[in-house]
Structure 1
Amino acid sequence: MTTTILLGLMARRAYKFVPPAMAGAVALGAGLHASLSHAADDYPNQPVRYLLHVSPGGGTDVLARQMASELEQILGQPFVVENRPGGQTGVQLAAITSAASDGYTIGSTTATHIAVMNAVFDEYSIDSVDWIAGLVTDPPVLVVHDSVPFDSLEGLVEEVKANPGQYSVSGTVDGSTGHIAWAMFAEAAGITEDEVRYVPYDSQGDSVTANVGGHIPIGMAWTGITRDHVEAGNLRVLGVLSEERVSAFPDTPTFTEAGYEVDPSWQQFRGIIGPKGIPDDVKAKLVGALEQVTQTEDYKEYIESSNLNNRFMGPEEFTEFVARQNEIVAEWVERLGLDE
């Protein structure tokens, strides 16, 4: 039963059971709801803030700016991208959850949010925000600086075991998709934390920059953000966490092909969240515009050139998807001792 129908029934019941003096107030409340519902026809009539949890330059940032440009053309108002990195997504989450639930503040989301909601924050959970739409999935890839003396996953394992404590691997924040992907691989390969230290960064762009500069020789990253660096010869990609090889790196084996049993269903995703309680009609208009963006030729070309998997999910499907991911994250957060 929709909210509008429910309120209508409540209003009719109120007229039947409350004294005449209160009937006018009930009617006023129902009328107010109707006017607010009508307001969705005018949405948006001012700029919309699009808050990102990452620094400029990474895959999430690039995708958000592509989306913002297309949304502005469809809905006729600027979608103003603001980078709010820091606090392991806490800076962005604080801004989103404290904003009005009117559709004029939205934000980027990745699996990292689910991770920190389990491992870092007591004040946030998957129920703290509206999961508006899922956009893409992106398989994790394990990359190394060109200077390292190995060129395969097997060679990496042999090298780090022969030189315990000499190597580090970078990725995004503790409990993020990259961290859990590395933990899965390390477990399958028998690599301990004493042999390789995980170094978390607030954004994937910062992590890959550390890899390209040779400061952190190993990185768990994504196809789109590493491809140019691989083609330039600065990085080499040794494995991909996917059921099949990816088109960007056709000669690179999956972890399973290389002999390491790592669950390929664990994927990075990117999507849109907002403050809890955005009106259904406003959300529906926003979601309709987002889906329209994913069908444009410019967007499809961007997704293909970035080697992303186009997977649009509306609010209901996205919320269910997030709930499933949350179960996986909760298990690994506990196993990694991140909830202590």
Structure 2
Amino acid sequence: MRTYRKSGVILAVAAATLFSAGAAMAACDWKPERPVTYVVPWGAGGGTDANSRMLASMMEKHFGVPFNVVNRTGGNGVVGHSAIANAEPDGYTIGAATVEITTMHHAGLTELNHTNLTPIALVDIVPSSVLVSKDSEFNSLNDLLTYAKANPGKLTGSGTAQGGIWHLALAGMLQSEGMDPAAIRWVPSNGAAAAMQELVAGGVDVATPALSEGKALIESGELKALAYMHDTRMGALPDVPTTKELLDSKWTLAAFISVSGPKGMPEEIACSYEKVAMEAFGQQDWADFKASRGSEVVMMGGKDLAVMMQDTSDNLGATMKAIGLAK
């Protein structure tokens, strides 16, 4: 399966401060004159929320008007993404379109997809992980998969909604290893933070959020990280092995977080937001924030982001079909 690597993103946009050809032709100096709503389709406390609040605060400082972050959860991401897509494209509603905008239509949840948005900039690339509680009997990914294969349906997993990216991470990994994608039963949650709370409390057996989202709980000893669904180890958690190292299938999977607006957003507005986002990503405050979460700075403008969204839709749609989650 094709995924987008952090290093690949950086190389792909080595000249990330240069905007798309269309944006370069615009003045890119539009500024909001009243408060802006920044929609987050997932719950407070997760990685999407944290990244979005940090970027919103930097945009607020730059533009000099409030950027009000609103968590619009529900419908497996449909509610929040719909709030972004259905807003007036006047620059006063933007939001955190996540990888689910490329999958929810494949799952039959909505007709909404990435073409209903104006991509502005990539905020983060977030490979999945495999986490268990500190008291779990499993101390390696092999232990977990061996048990799940011998006892299909006994273990439960969580991380996001049914058919969401962290569900695809687990089901896809099982399928790639020749197992039933439902060998570990999925328990839907309202995002990574809620799933990890359930994991700590013993409500589920495994969670597959971004490794960066679990970093604090791993470092505090509340959770154990069995694997990182990536091709290189995370610098902040170098002892966590990658699925490329551990699995015969070399399965990896990464999600993304973007800042996007409604379809039809005027170029002048979109490129102004892109310009400010790129400036924010180049600041030390942003680098320090990313480092604190164990993730790297990525830079990609709207034009490349649109291509990435289409590729992700094609690739994850094929994965969903292979594991029986496409409608």
TM range (shorter): 0.7 to 0.9
CA distance in 2, matches of 1:121, 1:188: 25
After TM superposition, give the deviation of residue 42 of structure 1 in Å: 5.2
Quick check: 1:118 aligned with 2:106? Answer: yes
Quick check: 1:247 aligned with 2:235? Answer: yes
After TM superposition, give the deviation of residue 120 of structure 1 in Å: 2.9
Quick check: 1:225 aligned with 2:244? Answer: no
AA aligned opposite 2:171: A
- Contact 2:30/2:269, CA 8 A, preserved across alignment: no
CA distance in 1, matches of 2:217, 2:241: 18
| Compared CA separation, residues 323 and 2, structure 1 to 2 (3 A) | closer
| Compared CA separation, residues 258 and 101, structure 1 to 2 (3 A) | same
- Contact 2:125/2:256, CA 8 A, preserved across alignment: yes
Quick check: 1:305 aligned with 2:292? Answer: yes
Listed as ranges, the matches of 1:1-340 within 5 Å are 41=29, 43-193=31-181, 195-264=183-252, 266-340=253-327
AA aligned opposite 1:287: E
| Compared CA separation, residues 133 and 153, structure 1 to 2 (3 A) | same
- Contact 1:223/1:306, CA 8 A, preserved across alignment: no
SS, match of residue 135 in structure 1: strand
CA distance in 1, matches of 2:72, 2:198: 20
SS, match of residue 104 in structure 2: helix
| Compared CA separation, residues 307 and 2, structure 1 to 2 (3 A) | closer
SS, match of residue 132 in structure 1: strand
CA distance in 2, matches of 1:285, 1:200: 37
AA aligned opposite 1:75: F
Residues 183-226 of structure 1 deviation map (CA, whole Å, 9 limit, x = unaligned): 22212333324532122223111111111111011111112211
After TM superposition, give the deviation of residue 41 of structure 1 in Å: 4.7
SS, match of residue 96 in structure 2: strand
CA distance in 1, matches of 2:50, 2:81: 20
5+ unaligned residues in a row in structure 1: which ranges?
6-36
Residues 271-316 of structure 1 deviation map (CA, whole Å, 9 limit, x = unaligned): 1111111110111111111111111111110011111232121110
CA distance in 2, matches of 1:2, 1:61: 30
CA distance in 2, matches of 1:156, 1:121: 31
- Contact 1:52/1:92, CA 8 A, preserved across alignment: yes
5+ unaligned residues in a row in structure 2: which ranges?
1-20
AA aligned opposite 1:225: E
| Compared CA separation, residues 94 and 109, structure 1 to 2 (3 A) | closer
Structure number with higher helix proportion: 1
CA distance in 2, matches of 1:183, 1:114: 17
AA aligned opposite 1:98: N
> What TM-score results when the alignment is normalised by the length of structure 2?
0.88
CA distance in 1, matches of 2:195, 2:84: 25
- Contact 1:138/1:309, CA 8 A, preserved across alignment: no
| Compared CA separation, residues 226 and 122, structure 1 to 2 (3 A) | closer
Instruction: Give the root-mean-square deviation of aligned CA atoms.
Output: 2.1
AA aligned opposite 1:306: R
AA aligned opposite 1:185: M
**Rg larger in 1 or in 2?**
1
| Compared CA separation, residues 194 and 93, structure 1 to 2 (3 A) | closer
CA distance in 1, matches of 2:312, 2:72: 24
- Contact 1:51/1:84, CA 8 A, preserved across alignment: yes
SS, match of residue 137 in structure 1: strand
- Contact 1:99/1:275, CA 8 A, preserved across alignment: yes
AA aligned opposite 1:132: I
State the structure with bigger RCO (CA 8 A, min sep 6), 1 or 2. Answer: 2
Work out the number of aligned pairs and report it. Answer: 306
After TM superposition, give the deviation of residue 161 of structure 1 in Å: 2.9
SS, match of residue 298 in structure 2: strand
CA distance in 1, matches of 2:152, 2:314: 32
